[in-house]
């Protein structure tokens, strides 16, 4: 007997059930190997008859997303049966989705899970609006045009945001100011000390910082994303909802997409609640709407309005911190590093971290944000249509 199979796994290298000989259901586990096997099976069938578009979709397919997309409308319809079921389902739905994500994507880096879930939720809410709210006859044509236009503008802006954050591919860069705990030795070379999860980098006088993972010279405020495996100019953060980094080239589009989506969502919730509870105000209608559970269709629309409100509040939180960080001319990555090394100062009751390195005043910071170049011609990766997903 191979006793190595029976040894307990290491803490940082968990053993999967399919690696054990004595586990009878080892071939039916939900690990990453199962997704890869299903992907290979899908790619191997009728290879010569698939179109390039279908092949591209199958290549990026994640089998583990299918149960979440099926369960989401089922849970929303279950919550519409009774007010108590609605409270239980809507309060546990965010935690359930996160648990499912970590259970099925624990060894994956980039994933289309959240992007697909958000687009599917947007499409499902719009479908219910057209099939349940519009036939009631109390929605004007201008309201339909505004909601449809907001959804279209959101999708177009999302595509522009996905075109690329500004990836550093090479070239020279000016010297990087002292940040992230970098100390220069007498020989002219230094290394990042205590970087933790941040990629180790070498700094040469007059040459900027060189990323050890990408082997490129990074300009000031650029950072390495461990999820994408690339260096991005003025890296803010990696957004799981768009499956891409937010950097110098797409930060303005990201902020615009987020703002348009939130405005459209708030307006759509207001239209739905006004149709369901015409005698109630917006906030009071969410808490008390008499007679809404008398008919299943109105209860379903009311439940979806609550679901949209939860998503809207979460994205409002993201938008608030984005606006505050831009006002202080600090990126999310720089704020996290300042907190880690205790080099920043907290403002607004601890809501914002000011590094004190790039802020030149409120109006100057916003002017710099709106006028900064997209990085064209400065050693950035060219935009490729294949990067849109």
Spatial separation of the C-alpha atoms in residues 119 and 58, rounded to whole Å: 18
Dihedral class, residue 264 (left if φ above 0, else alpha if ψ from -120 to 50, else beta): alpha
- Sequence-distant (6+) residues with CB within 8 A of 356 are 344, 345
Which DSSP symbol is given to 65?
H
> Could you tell me if 259 and 319 are in contact, meaning their C-beta atoms sit under 8 angstroms apart?
yes
Which of these, 74, 161, 61, 75, lies nearest to 113 by C-alpha position?
Answer: 61
Active site residues: 239
Which of these, 26, 121, 107, 96, lies nearest to 62 by C-alpha position?
Answer: 107
Cα distances from 376 to residues 168, 248, 260, in angstroms, run 11, 10, 26
> Could you tell me if 31 and 17 are in contact, meaning their C-beta atoms sit under 8 angstroms apart?
yes
3-state class of 304 per DSSP?
A: helix
């Amino acid at each position: 007997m191979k006793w190595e199979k029976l040894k307990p796994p290491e803490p940082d290298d968990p053993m999967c059930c399919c690696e054990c000989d004595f586990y009878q259901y080892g071939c039916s586990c939900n690990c990453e190997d199962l997704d890869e096997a299903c992907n290979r099976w899908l790619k191997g069938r009728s290879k010569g008859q698939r179109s390039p578009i279908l092949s591209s979709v199958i290549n990026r397919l994640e089998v583990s997303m299918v149960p979440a997309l099926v369960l989401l409308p089922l849970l929303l319809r279950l919550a519409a049966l009774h007010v108590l079921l609605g409270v239980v389902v809507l309060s546990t739905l965010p935690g359930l989705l996160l648990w499912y994500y970590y259970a099925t994507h624990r060894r994956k880096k980039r994933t289309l899970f959240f992007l697909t879930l958000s687009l599917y939720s947007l499409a499902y809410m719009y479908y219910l609006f057209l099939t349940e709210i519009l036939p009631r006859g109390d929605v004007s044509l201008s309201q339909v045009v505004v909601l449809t236009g907001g959804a279209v503008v959101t999708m177009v802006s999302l595509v522009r945001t996905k075109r690329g954050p500004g990836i550093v591919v090479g070239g020279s860069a000016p010297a990087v100011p002292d940040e992230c705990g970098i100390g220069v030795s007498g020989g002219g070379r230094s290394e990042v000390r205590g970087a933790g999860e941040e990629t180790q980098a070498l700094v040469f006088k007059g040459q900027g910082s060189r990323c050890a993972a990408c082997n490129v010279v990074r300009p000031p405020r650029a950072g390495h994303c461990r999820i994408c495996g690339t260096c991005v100019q003025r890296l803010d953060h990696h957004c799981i909802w768009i499956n891409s980094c937010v950097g110098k080239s797409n930060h303005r589009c990201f902020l615009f997409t987020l703002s348009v989506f939130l405005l459209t969502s708030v307006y759509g919730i207001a239209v739905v609640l006004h149709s369901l509870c015409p005698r109630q105000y917006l906030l009071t209608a969410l808490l008390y709407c008499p007679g809404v559970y008398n008919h299943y269709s109105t209860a379903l629309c009311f439940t979806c309005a609550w679901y949209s409100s939860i998503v809207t509040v979460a994205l409002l939180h993201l938008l608030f911190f984005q606006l505050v960080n831009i006002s202080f001319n600090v990126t999310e990555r720089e704020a996290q590093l300042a907190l880690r090394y205790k080099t920043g100062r907290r403002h607004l009751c601890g809501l914002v971290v000011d590094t004190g390195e790039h802020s030149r005043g409120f109006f100057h910071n916003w002017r710099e944000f709106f006028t900064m170049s997209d990085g064209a011609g400065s050693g950035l990766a060219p935009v490729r249509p294949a990067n849109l997903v």
